[in-house]
């Protein structure tokens, strides 16, 4: 599923935001720090933010993450003037102060307009997402960031906490892929699911990366896979086995199970807890299969490691069968029962 197809399913500023955050290329994590800062200022309703003020929140967010995980691939050699080099050198002092040092803030103000702020709206292979969320105006110390009405509406909407959680989950996933040894294992093996914590976990370190719901719900446009309605803040949410896990137990009790792993990411989808409860152990409906195929297609267009996990499922889950698309794969699984 291309970005254009993803947007066609929900032609809204919210879909544009998800395209930028979830499906844009990530060579570093600057985009997530900027997105987090934009949502934070957007909640205040202010239309104009001095660039230095935005840069302070942006750089502080990056430093907090930098203290825990790499913010660029460890195979990339950073130059002396690279912003991440400065951030690492100023990390301890910044954390002690609770705000960026003057050197770090100056580096952020200098680099942001020519770097992350030019690229935030861009998509690989396409010009830009359909909506814009800010524009730069002025020069020098008078430079300001004007937040667009679309950004202000998003940041103040009921869905804002969901969008912030999705951004945080994506940030964690990309960080994990940047750790050199772990990144290789994620590319080769994908991720697994820890059902005790409902977390996505990397196999090499058995380390929780992020929650299943936050990592996947944006690719469903924030909607329940079963009923198709929006998963609103405060709703009880369950992780649904679209093809019920009981099928593996049922078939395994009378012989060997030769089907795909129904406990894998491709078969797991956020849903209303009430919808999940009433669904019980039935097979998915045609509408649910279409939604799951579209969701998996969208994840397959996102950066590693979730993309690789889905690619491996599509390639390996049906022995001796080739399923070139998710709709064909899911149809083959459906007919197996």
Question: What is the per-residue pLDDT across 102-131, written as a single tens digit (0 to 9) for each?
Answer: 999 999 999 999 899 999 998 876 678 999
5-40 pLDDT per residue, tens: 888 888 999 999 999 999 877 788 999 999 999 999
Contact in structure between 300 and 311 (CB atoms under 8 Å) = yes
Query: What does 236-287 look like in DSSP terms, one character per residue?
Result: -EEEEESS-THHHHHHHTTS---S--TTSGGGEEEEEHHHHHHHTTPPPPHH
Whole-angstrom CA distances from 207 to 71, 75, 172, 203 are 17, 21, 11, 7
Peptide linkage before 15 cis (omega within 30 of 0): no
Quick check: 253 pLDDT over 50? no
Residue with tokens 């299943």: 212
Average model confidence (pLDDT) for the chain?
86
- Mean pLDDT is lowest, of 30-34, 256-260, 313-317, for 256-260
Q: pLDDT > 90: what percent of the chain?
A: 55
pLDDT for position 320? 61
pLDDT for position 332? 81
Contact in structure between 121 and 10 (CB atoms under 8 Å) = no
Q: Which tokens is 166 given? A: 């999705």
Mean pLDDT of 306-315: 83
Quick check: 256 pLDDT over 60? no
pLDDT tier at 319, thresholds 50, 70, 90: low
Mean pLDDT of 221-227: 96
Please indicate whether residue 267 or residue 249 has the higher confidence score (pLDDT): 267
**Strand blocks (E) in the chain:** 48-50, 134-137, 144-147, 191-194, 199-202, 207-211, 237-241, 268-272
Please indicate whether residue 68 or residue 227 has the higher confidence score (pLDDT): 227
Distance CA 326, CA 313 (A): 10
pLDDT for position 208? 81
130-140 pLDDT per residue, tens: 999 999 998 87
144-173 pLDDT per residue, tens: 999 999 999 999 999 999 999 999 999 998
């Amino acid at each position: 599923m291309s970005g254009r197809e993803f947007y066609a399913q929900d032609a809204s500023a919210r879909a544009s935001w998800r395209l930028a955050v979830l499906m844009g290329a990530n060579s570093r994590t600057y985009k997530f720090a900027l997105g987090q800062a934009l949502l934070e200022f957007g909640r205040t309703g202010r239309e104009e933010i001095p660039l230095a003020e935005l840069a302070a929140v942006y750089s502080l967010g990056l430093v907090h993450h930098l203290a825990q995980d790499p913010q660029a691939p460890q195979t990339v050699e950073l130059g002396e003037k690279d912003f991440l080099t400065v951030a690492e050198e100023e990390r301890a002092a910044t954390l002690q102060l609770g705000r960026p040092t003057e050197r770090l803030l100056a580096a952020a103000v200098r680099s942001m307009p020519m770097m992350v702020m030019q690229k935030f709206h861009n998509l690989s292979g396409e010009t830009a997402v359909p909506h814009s969320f800010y524009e730069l105006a002025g020069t020098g110390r008078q430079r300001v960031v004007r937040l667009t009405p679309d950004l202000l509406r998003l940041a103040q909407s009921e869905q804002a906490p969901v969008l912030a959680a999705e951004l945080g989950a994506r940030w964690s996933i990309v960080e994990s892929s940047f750790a050199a040894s772990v990144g290789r294992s994620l590319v080769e093996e994908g991720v697994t699911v820890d059902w005790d914590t409902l977390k996505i976990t990397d196999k090499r370190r058995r380390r929780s990366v992020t929650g299943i719901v936050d990592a996947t719900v944006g690719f469903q446009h924030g909607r329940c896979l079963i009923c198709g309605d929006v998963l609103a803040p405060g709703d009880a949410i369950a992780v649904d086995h679209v093809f019920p896990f009981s099928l593996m137990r049922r078939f395994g009790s009378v012989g060997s199970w030769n089907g795909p792993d129904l406990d894998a990411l491709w078969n797991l989808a956020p849903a209303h807890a009430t919808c999940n409860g009433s669904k019980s152990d039935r097979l998915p409906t045609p509408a649910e299969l279409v939604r799951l195929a579209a969701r998996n297609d969208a994840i397959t267009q996102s950066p590693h490691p979730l993309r690789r996990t889905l690619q491996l499922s599509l390639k390996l889950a049906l022995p001796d069968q080739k399923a070139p698309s998710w709709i064909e794969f899911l149809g083959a699984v459906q007919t197996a029962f």
